[in-house]
Chain A
Amino acid sequence: MRVISFSLNGVDRKLTVDETRTLLWVLRDDLGLTGTKFGCGESVCGACTVLLNNEAVRACATPMSAVEGKRVVTIEGLAHDEHLHPVQEAFVKHLGFQCGFCTSGMIMGAHALLLKNPKPTRSQIINEMEPHLCRCGAHVRIVQAIESASAVIAGGAR
């Protein structure tokens, strides 16, 4: 057990936890943030993707020790004062989801991509999103959504 200090969705947190536990289950079970999903537990589906210091990471493979002193952003931290983030808005507009189970991870992955590269090419989008699985086959619309979010973000709307 150890005290881990980190920022979660913009709020400073201190947690006393076993630092070998993973961020995924601490988020879901200890903190009640269930928007981050479990799909595989082995870093091979992307459903648990969150941002750690603005980089997309798999929460299922991130031990709490790695979170110390960092900024964590989850899907719950993306919308501000009831305003959807442009990536979320684009997923709604282009229907980039069906069952929605991969959606949190997809949105966080896309958000991380656009943070480092606001104007990705289609092939850069595909490259970045490649590790994310969607069983419902929403891929075509997810790519459209990311392209349209990029246009909004790079266009300076936010």
Chain B
Amino acid sequence: MNREKDMMEVPEGRGFVQTMDRRDFLKLTGSGLLVLCSVDPLLGQSAPVAATQRGATDFNSFLHIGADGRVTCLVGKVELGQGVMTSLPQLAAEELGVSLASVDIVMGDTDLCPTDRGTFGSLSIRMLGPTLRAAAAEARAVLVQMAAEQLKLPITDLEVRNGVVSSKSAPSKHISYGELTAGKRIERRLDGQAVLKKVGAFTIMGQSAPRRDALEKVTGKAKYAGDIAPSGALYACILRPPSHGAKLLRADTSSAEALPGVRVVRDGELIAVLHPHRDEATRALALIKAMYSPSPSRLTHETIFEHLKKVAPEARATGSRGSLADGEKAAAQIVEQTYLKGYVAHAPIETHSAIAMVEQGKVTVWAGTQTPFPLKTQIARALNIAPEKVRVITPYVGGGFGGKSASMQGIEAARLAMATGKPVRVVWSREEEFFFDTFDPAAVIQIRAGLDAAKRIVFWDNTIIGAGERGSALFYDVPNHRTAVRGGWNGNPADMHPFAVGPWRAPGANANVFARESHMDVLAAKAGMDPVEFRLRNLTDARMRRVLEAAAKNFGWSPKPAPSGRGFGVACGDDAGTYVATMAEVKVDKSTGKIQVVRVLCAQDMGIVVNPEGAAQQMEGCITMGLGYTLSEEVQFKDGVVLDTNFGTYDLPRFSGVPRIETVILDSPDLAPQGGGEPAIVTTGAVLANAVFDAVGARVVQLPMTPARVKSAMKG
């Protein structure tokens, strides 16, 4: 499938991120056909029987068809930029047999949408998608059945086009969905029997439907949490400690309070300065004289790796096969290497923002969050009120990448709104964003592996500290292996990291794939083989072979053992059900150690593709974002202080560093749609490390590959 396919010209359906209120909603769903569906988050498929027994609130999406023929999907997912506001309606429109323009979507509103755990893990299309499709297929079946009764025709004689059911033999006999549902209230629960359309019959899925958020985003009209402005709203700037672990001893707020229009609120440990203008609130905050105890932490971004090795929890085996001892015996060559990666920030351009308002005992919070429903529960708990008294609305979110799974700012805004009786907005500064970010954890990954005389991998012993298991499973043929994990992005002992860590786009997989695919190249070099041929020799997984071969063909890879001087690299990975193979070309300035990435090509098998242009956009975004953790991004800290407070020292990828990017999406009609928001990022570290090795013969084993690290690797 070629991503250059022209965009389909379709008038837009609407996407509501915040404009519908409860009354509109009741009016909307008061009549018509409502399909409730449930998805088991663990199985990733609809679990109809269990769902019907779990009671009326336990479903994950609604699909509603109104008397005007308009279709509304209500989902708890949010639009972070990944494009689900556009692709989810495509699924519904396809299965229902209606035009895309007649499908609206309401997202991330806890009063209107069914409960959802959050928008992360590339789950929207992969997990919610099948449910939504099934709901739409079920609705179509119900409507066709009703049409058959009304038209007195057999179902086999009926077909659906653009929301109209008509007779194949006598096309003048027809009835629209709107006419069928008018004045009725029909409620259906998905029973799992719905029959989905086959790929060959798709007319809407598989097309690059234009993004619904485009017009609002290019005109500045798109509203994010910080843009919602109820009258009388105050900004809150909150007093923050200088370091993690520091405790507030005393605070003198008198000079801040003396400023005109400033109000200071103390609610337990929370001290905030409020003013209608954010810049004036910021100025007042600077006037607070606060004393803190020093942080007990003595760690730095350099000493952290030794610390992790010491304090990480006991190893937990996540995969094993055969016997490592047998493998060692069979090995002709053994290579052992430790790979390191520092902490990486999420750094969305929109900082954590929220606004909270209390009206008649009900708290409404607009928040830039990936988890509106968990946030609702947290707010209710913090305020000690019933969850029904809290509504979280998620407008457009200015990037998340896992970092907005934690939404402390929403709780802060709610507490301060409660305390003042006024609408209160909290918009974190960039410094607060760096301080409270739940970083991608630093990792230490050890791999010891051996080759037999035939250059086949005979054992693989992998110990992962900090990164968890995602991305570490072996798709290569290895008869004897063991993978053990000591800590991941959650569930760690309290003293493991000096600050919060959390999920970061394909959590842990970036570190694990960097280590595995670097080590594959180390082995290939040991074997004196071309890195692609070496992988293929050790790979029977047909799906991965196909992806790798597609990458090689499109890239124009010709076999040569590394270092060939060409600066070519390869890496394979699997994530969220999707397989990727990435190839890159780099130039290395030998005097400075600076890497310039010339070209990156990524081939991907993601099953059925819902929106090819959207999928390519996600792949490009992954590759571009991946340049950061690979080349320049590493959080610097010392004694509990996060030294990076803004983008002046913390280097995100920029225009000059972005290479030519090519994406190849393989035709894969027999596999349901898989994840698209994360897979293509996991290979970036290794593909570039391998390309650097191919260019200059230096193996960089620590991310990011800063010029200094490249130079020191070149010295050997």
Chain A interfacial positions (CB closer than 8 Å to B): 18, 21-22, 24-25, 28-30, 32-42, 44-45, 47, 74-76, 78-79, 84, 88, 91-92, 95, 97-104, 107, 125-127, 129-130, 132-143
Interface of chain A, helix or strand or loop or mixed?
Answer: loop
Q: Is the Cβ of B277 less than 8 Å from the Cβ of A136?
A: no
Task: Find B220's partner among A104, A127, A141 (CB 8 Å cutoff).
Answer: A104
A75 touches B220 (CB 8 A): yes
A-B contact pairs, 6 of them (CB 8 A): A38-B226, A99-B397, A101-B398, A130-B654, A139-B624, A140-B620
Q: By the criterion CB–CB under 8 Å, are A139 and B655 in contact?
A: yes
Residues B59-93 near A (CB distance < 8 A): 80-83
Once the chains bind, are B219 and A76 in contact (CB under 8 Å)?
Answer: yes
Q: Which residue of B lies closest to A100 (CB)?
A: B217
**Contact residues, B625-666 vs A (CB, 8 A):** 625, 646-648, 652-656, 658, 661
- A141→B398 contact, CB < 8 A: no
**Is B349 a contact partner of A30 (Cβ separation < 8 A)?**
no
Across the two chains, which residue of chain B brings its CB closest to A102? Answer: B349
Residues A137 and B218 in contact, CB atoms below 8 Å apart? no
Least distance between B641 CB and chain A CB atoms (Å): 18
Is B249 in contact with chain A by the CB < 8 A criterion? no
Number of B residues contacting the other chain (C-beta, 8 Å)? 58
Report whether A22 and B279 are in contact in the complex, using a CB–CB cutoff of 8 Å: yes
Q: Check B191 for interface membership: any CB of A closer than 8 A.
A: no
A82 to chain B, nearest CB (A): 10
User: In angstroms, how far is the closest chain B Cβ from the Cβ of A145?
Assistant: 10
Instruction: Say if the beta carbon of B546 comes within 8 Å of chain A.
Output: no
Q: Which 9 A-B pairs have the closest CB atoms?
A: A35-B220, A137-B624, A99-B81, A101-B398, A100-B217, A98-B81, A75-B220, A137-B621, A34-B227
Within 8 Å CB of A135, what residues of B? 347-349, 399, 401, 625, 652
Do the beta carbons of B398 and A126 come within 8 Å of each other? no
- Is there an interface contact between B81 and A25, defined as CB atoms closer than 8 Å? no
Query: How far, in angstroms, from A141 to B81 measured CA to CA in the complex?
Result: 14
Contacts of B80 in A (CB 8 A): 99
**Complex: A15 Cα to B80 Cα, angstroms:** 36
Which residues of the other chain, B, contact A127 by a CB distance below 8 angstroms? Answer: 656
| A104 surroundings in chain B (CB, below 8 A) | 220
- Give the residues in chain B near A101, CB-CB below 8 Å: 81, 224, 348-350, 398-399
Bound: A137/B221 CA distance, A: 21
- Number of A-B residue pairs with CB-CB distance less than 8 Å in the complex they form: 167
Among A28, A133, A140, the residue within 8 A (CB) of B654 is A133
- Apart from A42-B647, A100-B213, 6 more pairs, CB < 8 Å: A18-B280, A78-B219, A100-B81, A100-B222, A101-B399, A137-B621
Which listed residue, B82, B279, B347, B430, touches A42 by the CB 8 Å rule?
Answer: B430
Contact of A136 among B81, B214, B658 (CB under 8 A): B81
Find out whether the CB atom of A139 lies under 8 angstroms from the CB atom of B658. yes
Q: Is B328 engaged at the interface, CB distance under 8 Å to the other chain? A: no
The CA-CA distance from A45 to B648 in the complex, in Å, is 9
Evaluate contact between A25 and B349: CB separation under 8 angstroms: no
CA distance A142 to B617 in the complex (A): 12
A37 touches B349 (CB 8 A): yes
Do residues A134 and B220 form an inter-chain contact, with CB atoms below 8 A?
A: no
Within 8 A of A (CB), among B331-365: 347-351
Given A30-B277, A137-B653, A139-B624, does the pair A97, B401 have CB atoms closer than 8 Å?
Answer: no
* B706 within 8 Å of A (CB atoms): no
Give per-residue flags for B187-226: 1 if the beta carbon is below 8 A from chain A beta carbons, else 0: 0000000000000000000000011011111111111101
**Of B280, B347, B396, B654, which is within 8 A of A99 by CB?**
B396
| Cβ-neighbour of A97 out of B217, B229, B648 (below 8 A) | B217
Contacts of B658 in A (CB 8 A): 137, 139-140
Judge whether A137 and B656 touch: CB under 8 Å: no
Chain A residues with Cβ below 8 Å from B113 are none
Chain A residues with CB under 8 Å of B222's CB are: 100
The answer to whether A95 and B224 touch (CB under 8 A), given A29-B278, A41-B429, is no
> When the two chains form their complex, are residues B279 and A79 in contact, meaning their CB atoms are under 8 A apart?
no
Interface centre among B349, B397, B620 (most CB of A within 10 A): B349
Q: B655: which A residues are within 8 A, CB to CB? A: 125-126, 129-130, 132, 139, 142-143
Interface centre among B211, B227, B647, B653 (most CB of A within 10 A): B647
Question: Contact residues of B with A, CB < 8 Å?
Answer: 80-83, 210-211, 213-224, 226-227, 229, 235, 276-280, 347-351, 396-399, 401, 427, 429-430, 613, 617, 620-625, 646-648, 652-656, 658, 661
Chain B residues with CB under 8 Å of A95's CB are 211, 214, 613, 617
Contacting pair A34 B220 (CB below 8 A): yes
Closest residue of chain B to A131 (Cβ to Cβ) is B654
CA distance A130 to B278 in the complex (A): 28
Which residue of chain A has the shortest Cβ distance to B626 in the bound complex? A137
A19 → B minimal CB distance (Å) = 12
A24 to chain B, nearest CB (A): 8
- The minimal Cβ–Cβ distance linking B616 to chain A, given in whole angstroms, is 9
Residues of A within 8 A of B215 (CB): 92
Please name the residue on chain A nearest to B625 by beta carbon: A137
How far does the alpha carbon of A18 sit from the alpha carbon of B283 in the complex, in Å? 13
The 8 Å CB contact of A98, one of B82, B216, B278, B279, is B82
C-alpha spacing A126/B227, complex, angstroms: 30
Closest to A22 in B: B279
With a CB–CB cut-off of 8 A, which chain B residues contact A45? 349, 430, 647
- Inter-chain contacts of A21 with B (CB < 8 A): 277, 279-280
Residues in B neighbouring A98, C-beta threshold 8 A: 81-83, 399, 617, 621
Is the pair A32, B229 in contact by a Cβ cutoff of 8 Å?
A: yes
Q: A141 near B279 (CB under 8 angstroms)?
A: no
User: In the complex, are the beta carbons of A99 and B399 less than 8 A apart?
Assistant: yes
Pair A140/B224 contact, Cβ less than 8 Å: no
Given contacts A88-B219, A99-B396, A141-B620, contact A38 B81 (CB under 8 A): no
Supposing A29-B277, A95-B211, A99-B81 touch, asked if A41 and B430 sit within 8 A by C-beta, the answer is yes
B618 CB to nearest A CB, Å: 8
The interface residues of chain A lying within 8 Å CB-to-CB of B227 are 28, 34
Q: Which residues of B contact A139 (CB under 8 A)?
A: 624, 653-655, 658
B623 touches A137 (CB 8 A): yes
Contact: A37 with B654, CB < 8 Å?
A: no
A-side contacts of B621, CB under 8 Å = 98, 136-138
> Is there contact, CB below 8 Å, between B656 and A133?
no
CA distance A18 to B277 in the complex (A): 11
Complex contacts, B211 vs chain A, CB 8 Å: 95
Q: What's the nearest-Cβ distance from chain A to residue B384, in Å?
A: 32
* Most chain A CB within a 10 A radius of its CB, from B222, B279, B396, B401: B279
Residues of chain B within 8 A of A142, CB atoms compared: 655
- Min CB distance, A3 to chain B, in Å? 18
Chain B CB within 10 Å, residue with most, of A95, A97, A104, A142: A95
Of residues A25, A39, A143, which shows the largest number of chain B Cβ atoms within 10 Å of its Cβ? A39
Q: Tell me the complex Cα distance, A41–B83, Å.
A: 28
CA distance A137 to B350 in the complex (A): 14
